[in-house]
A = this chain, B = another copy of it.
Amino acid sequence: MNEQKLEIVKSKNLKPKPQSDQIPFGRTFTDHMFVMDYEVEKGWHDPRIVPYEPLTLDPAAMIFHYGQTVFEGLKAYRAEEDRILLFRPDMNFQRLNRSSERLSIPPIDEDQVMNHLTELISIEKDWVPSTEGTSLYIRPFIIATETSLAVAPSQSYKLMIILSPVGSYFTGGLRPVTINVEDQFTRAVKGGTGMAKTAGNYSSGYQAQAKAYKEGNADVLWLDGMEKKYIEEVGSMNIFFKINGEVVTPELNGSILKGITRMSIIELLKKWDIPVVERKISVEELYKAYEEGLVEEAFGTGTAAVISPVGELNWLGRKMIINDHQIGELSQKLYDTITGIQTGKVEDRHEWTLEVK
């Protein structure tokens, strides 16, 4: 993978930018996108920034048939003095390559693509919204493009990065949510693709999602696929519990996504000398601790919401009300610290942010 010159083709028709506090998630895209191609003989080549435009693919392109694809999700934040910050983007590109390995997709040069991304964002800097809680969502994704119905890794791929301004996840501050503990459907299992950010992991959850919504829940808490006993993660978030003064999160077991927010929270808690452990935790154990009055806080973590306090869990008809549906002290502190770092209001002692020049 040799460093290649980035070609830039500017759009002639710039779109109007939406009101930054009224943006539905992931429906509005900026004027430009990043594209790079892979072919076996050439490797990854032709990095370019071009006007955002439709893709043209053969109906037999492999992406439509065998799901060989991976993606990432990160954000650019508008900080004080109009600086634009990315939060640990190196971790996203590392994870993209780990996901690619699982799906037999050739790796990208992480540094090269990260440079191209900052170039893209600097071209689109006016699209980074400024209202509190808003950001520019960044979606890198790779799709298999070979025209063939053979069940085999594609010989060609396309990496694209598209950008979408997004509104605040919580309008009016953090609000604890109710989550259903799914006891039938499975998201992932050891030996499967759970640790990869790949398309099939998401649509496979729609039935469980619909079931959860129907019963008034905002999301699904997945259990392990083998025994339906151990807690894994929420739809697009990792999960943490504060039990009797100790913070517990499921260990990375191959079926859980290694969230970058999760990782950052563990580092912060360690720095703050708050006990934190990554281990197996069964839903039975959690309910037992609850009955003993030991469950103090619960929260989901992910790029979308940063911290999403959990006010209530439902499992096989058993309701768990956490912290009286109120935001926990630790949840709030983590939220404030991370969003503070992301927007440059809190000093970044960890070198987590990367400024887009």
Contacts and interface: CB of A to CB of B under 8 A. Distances in A.
Interface of A: 24-27, 29, 33, 52, 54-61, 63-69, 71, 102-104, 137, 139, 141, 143-144, 147-153, 160, 162, 164, 184-193, 198-207, 209-210, 225-228, 235-236
A112 to B, nearest CB: 20
B209 A204 contact: no
Given A203-B66, A235-B151, A60 B225 contact: no
Contacts of A199: 63-67, 199-200
B103 A60 contact: no
Of A67, A147, A207, most buried by chain B (CB within 10 Å of CB) is A67
A191 B200 contact: no
8 contacts: A57-B57, A60-B164, A65-B139, A69-B203, A139-B149, A152-B209, A189-B226, A193-B200
A205 B164 CA distance: 32
Nearest to A70: B203
B64 A210 contact: no
A4 B147 CA distance: 31
Contacts of A52: 59
Given A67-B201, A188-B192, 18 more contacts: A26-B60, A27-B147, A55-B61, A56-B56, A64-B69, A64-B141, A65-B71, A66-B203, A67-B69, A104-B203, A104-B207, A144-B203, A149-B164, A186-B189, A187-B192, A189-B226, A192-B225, A193-B204
Contacts of A164: 60, 149
B69 A150 contact: no
A235 B25 CA distance: 38
Contacts of A198: 67, 200, 203-204
B200 A201 contact: yes
Contact of A148 (B27, B68, B206): B27
B189 A67 contact: no
A65 B164 CA distance: 14
A183 to B, nearest CB: 9
A58 B57 CA distance: 11
B204 A103 contact: yes
A188 B33 CA distance: 35
Contact of A60 (B162, B185, B236): B162
B59 A33 contact: yes
Contacts of A225: 189-192, 225-226
Contacts of A162: 59-60
A320 B28 CA distance: 57
A102 to B, nearest CB: 7
Q: Which of A24, A102, A203 has the most CB of B within 10 A?
A: A203
B63 A54 contact: no
B203 A67 contact: yes
Contacts of A188: 192
A163 to B, nearest CB: 10
Nearest to A69: B64
Contacts of A65: 71, 139, 141, 199, 202
Contacts of A153: 203, 206, 210
A50 to B, nearest CB: 11
